[in-house]
Structure 1
C-alpha cells in the first residue's frame, strides 16, 4: 500500500467533496455538512446496510472488495451470515437508531467508504496484503493513543475525516460565527 501524506489525502478528499457538491440533491442548496450516506450511495455507487456486527457492539463497520460471507447477528443474538458483494458498507445497526451516536455513525460510514475509495484509486496497491485482502473491520477506539501500525486504517481515518470536515465548510462556518459574535457584541 502506498503511504500517502495528509496533503495527498486532503487532495483526494477535495475531489470527492466536489463530486458530492455537484449532486442534483445538493447542487443548489446551502450545505452545512456532508451526508456520508448520500456520498457513499450517489458518488461512490456503494450500498449501505445496517446489521448487528458483533455481540458486544465493538465492531462498528465493515466492507470488502470481493464477494464473501461475514458473520452478523440477528436481533435475538442468533448468528447469521451476510454476503458482501464488494460494493457494500455494513454498519452496526445500533448506530442508525441512537441519535446520540450520529457522529460515530457518520465517521464509520466515511471510514469504510474511504477503504473503497482507496481501492478504486489504487487497485493494484490497496487491499493486496493477506491482512487487508478480506474484510475491513472498524472497531471502536481501535487507533486511540497508538503509534501508526496499520497505514491502511490510518489513511482511511484521515480521508474519512477530511471528507466529513472539508476545510471550506469549516472556514465558512467559523467566519459566520465570528461575524455574528462581533455584530452582536
Structure 2
C-alpha cells in the first residue's frame, strides 16, 4: 500500500472496487459470489476484533461514527444530563451514533463500514500522529457531511472511507448482477397521453428497482442511487 507524505493511502477512485474486493475476499468472500447484505457487525467484532458501542456522540448529530485508535478518554454527549462527558475507551472501539438504529438502518450499516475502513486503511497515520500529540491520534470523528472535493489529509481519509464503504456494501459485480436481474422483470409500458401510461412508466420502474436493491444490500435508497451513478448503470 503506497502512502503520501501525510501517511494517507493513495487510492484512486478507479481502484475503489479493487480495494473493496480485497477487503471482502479477506473478511466476507461470499459477498463476492452472490448479492447479499454484508454482515458488517460480524466482520467488525468477530473478524477484525473491534468492539462496537452505540452512544450519543454529539448533541446536534453532526457526527455519526468514530474509530478509537488509542486508549484514553473521549468526549461524548450525555442526553440525560444535557452535557458533554469524558468516557474512557480502549483502542479498537468503534462508536456509532445510537439514534441511527432508531431511524435509518442503512445509514447505520454504512457508518459501521466507514469506520472499519478507517481501521483497515488508516492506522499508520494515527500511529504517526501519536508520536507528535497523543490527543491527535485518539480517534477519527466522522461527520455526517460527505466530502466531495478533498483537500486536507482529513478530507482524504473521509473521502476514502465513504467511497470504500459503498463499494464494500454494494460489490460492483454483484450489484450489477442484481440490477440486471431486477431490470429483466419490468417492461416500460405505453404512454397514453401527457398524464397516463398503459403499464409501468420509466420513473416508477426505477423506483421499484432502487427499493429492491436497497432491500437486497440493506443500504439506504440514496446510497443505491449514488452507486448506480458511480457504476454508470441505467435502469430503464
TM over 0.5: yes
Partner of 1:153: 158
Cα distance change, pair 166–132 in 1 and its aligned pair in 2 (3 A): farther
- Alpha-carbon shift at residue 57 of structure 1 (Å): 1.2
Q: Pick from 116, 121, 142: which aligns with 2:119?
A: 116
Task: Tell me how far apart the structure 2 counterparts of residues 17 and 58 of structure 1 sit (CA, whole Å).
Answer: 29
Unmatched segments (≥5 aa) in structure 1: none
Q: Name the structure 2 match of 1:164.
A: 169
The alignment's C-alpha RMSD in Å is: 2.8
Shift of 1:10: 2.5
Q: Residues 95-119 of structure 1: CA distance to partner in whole angstroms, max 9, x if unpaired?
A: 1222xx1222122111111100103
User: The residue matched to 2:122 in structure 1 has which SS?
Assistant: helix
More RCO (CA 8 Å, sep 6+): 1
Do structure 1's residue 10 and structure 2's residue 13 form an aligned pair?
no
Task: Give CA deviations for 1:81-134 in whole Å, capped at 9, x if unaligned.
Answer: 332322111011101222xx12221221111111001036xx3xx323469623
Counterpart among 166, 176, 180 of residue 185 in structure 2 = 180
Does the 8 Å CA contact 2:117/2:165 hold for their aligned counterparts? yes
Q: Which residue of 1 aligns with 2:216?
A: none
Cα contact 1:33–1:169 (8 A) shared by 2:
no
Q: Unaligned regions of 5+ residues in structure 2, if any? A: 1-7, 188-198, 200-236
TM-score (norm 1): 0.79
Matched residues in 1 for 2:73 and 2:96: separation? 15
Task: Report SS of the residue matched to 1:181.
Answer: coil
CA positional deviation for 1:40: 1.6
- In structure 1, how many angstroms separate the alpha carbons of the residues matched to 2:138 and 2:159? 18
Q: CA separation in 1, counterparts of 2:113 and 2:64?
A: 12
Q: Give the match for residue 67 of structure 1.
A: 71
Residue 50 in 1 paired to residue 54 in 2?
Answer: yes
Q: How does 1:33-44 map to 2 (within 5 A)?
A: 33-44=37-48
Distance between the aligned counterparts of 1:15 and 1:66, measured in 2?
26
- Once residues 142 and 31 of structure 1 are traced to their aligned partners in structure 2, the CA distance between those partners, rounded to angstroms, is 26
**Match runs of 1:76-115 below 5 Å:** 76=80, 77-98=82-103, 101-115=104-118
Give the Å deviation of 1:31: 4.5
* Structure with bigger gyration radius: 2
